[in-house]
Amino acid sequence: MNITEHLAGLRAEAPAHLLPRIMAATGLADRYVVRDSVLGRVFVAFNDRGVSAVDLAPSPQEFEERFTERHGRPAVPAEEVPAPIEAHLDRAIAEGKPGKLTLDLAGVTPFQEAVLRKTAEIPAGEIRPYGWIATEIGRPGATRAVGTALARNPVPLVVPCHRVVRSDGRLGDYSLGDRSNKGRLLEAEGLDTGRLARDAARGVRFVGSDTTHIFCHPTCRDARRITTRHRVEFRSTAAAAEAGYRPCRRCRPAAAA
């Protein structure tokens, strides 16, 4: 062999992680990591704007396919997580609220974003009806659209759409994997979903205290402190108002549209 043939032998293959890195650097791909949650391992994608997706998938390939289908760009495995995301991600997943975690909601409409931001305010262990979200964001009557917006929540768990349920007390649909996951998440937050379902079936929508004459959503932190002896049940805000009760300022029960 002469020297030029030896030199040709100095060709090397680019390491496999280079392509994903380049795609992420150009912004043509998001990056993702796998994290633990109540529902098992979840895929979390992010880019320079923040967390762009939280999803359950049987395999990285399936996650990548679903991500590309939905967001129109690839997601590639991340070698490292940027400090601002790393610092807040596990807590956001564990507590079911974004907290200081920044989210990339660039792909959603202003209405969807308003729905998601309002949903993020619901404390762990509490639930609100779809109609409550609609009223709170100034779009009473848009209950169905709220449901649609939450079904497309790109960042479930972190934006806790599992805490938004039907006004008849049934849990309703859930976007992250099987719909039973909604109940699993609420149970993990300490909710007795069986009891909620039985109360709802009896027509209980709100509960009040006969000492304070304030009424709440049944899972409101203040409602859960009412002792059985003083607990009063209502089928509607109108019934509560007629009985001389005022709405709780914390959970702001609103008339169903």
Partner 1 sequence: MNEPIDIDRLPAALARDLDGAFPHLVRALQDAVFSGALRMTGSRADAEDVTQEAFLRAYRALGDYPAARIRNLRLRGWIWTIAANLCRNRARTLARRRETLVSEPTVAVDPEAGPEQRALDLIGLEDLAARVARLPWAQRSSVVLRHVVGLGYGEIAEALGRPLGTVKNDVHRGLDRLRTLVTQEAP
Token pair recorded at residue 20: 């994903």
Residue 162 sits at φ, ψ, to 5 deg, of: -70, -15
Interatomic CA distance for residues 170 and 238, integer angstroms:
21
DSSP, collapsed to helix, strand or coil, labels residue 12 as: coil
Contact pattern from residue 73 through residue 92 relative to partner 1, giving x for each residue in contact according to CB under 8 A and a dash for the rest: xx------------------
Tell me how far, at minimum, the Cβ of 20 lies from partner 1, in Å: 10
**Interface residues for partner 1 in 5-34 (CB under 8 A)?**
6-15, 18-19, 21-23, 25-26, 28
Cα-based distances in Å from 14 to 17, 18, 27: 8, 7, 20
Q: Which is nearer to partner 1, 58 or 72 (CB)?
A: 72
Instruction: Reply yes or no on whether 220 is catalytic.
Output: no
Tell me how far, at minimum, the Cβ of 17 lies from partner 1, in Å: 8
Q: Which is nearer to partner 1, 19 or 255 (CB)?
A: 19
Which part of the chain contacts partner 1 (CB under 8 A), choosing from 2-10, 81-89, 114-122, 229-237? 2-10
Annotate 97-110 with three-state secondary structure.
Answer: CCCCCCECCCCCCH
Tell me how far, at minimum, the Cβ of 76 lies from partner 1, in Å: 10
Interatomic CA distance for residues 72 and 166, integer angstroms:
32
From 250, 256, 199, select the one nearest 225 (Cα to Cα).
Answer: 250
Contact between 69 and 76 (Cβ < 8 Å) = no
Is 69 near partner 1 (CB under 8 A)?
no
Tell me how far, at minimum, the Cβ of 2 lies from partner 1, in Å: 8
Tell me how far, at minimum, the Cβ of 209 lies from partner 1, in Å: 59
Out of 161, 216, 248, 251, pick the active-site residue.
161
Interatomic CA distance for residues 42 and 63, integer angstroms:
9
Which part of the chain contacts partner 1 (CB under 8 A), choosing from 1-9, 190-198, 200-208, 220-228? 1-9
**Interface residues for partner 1 in 90-129 (CB under 8 A)?**
none
Cα-based distances in Å from 213 to 217, 218, 219, 221, 247: 14, 15, 17, 16, 9
Contact pattern from residue 176 through residue 205 relative to partner 1, giving x for each residue in contact according to CB under 8 A and a dash for the rest: ------------------------------
Active site members:
161
**Binding footprint of partner 1 on the chain (CB under 8 A):** 1-4, 6-15, 18-19, 21-23, 25-26, 28, 73-74
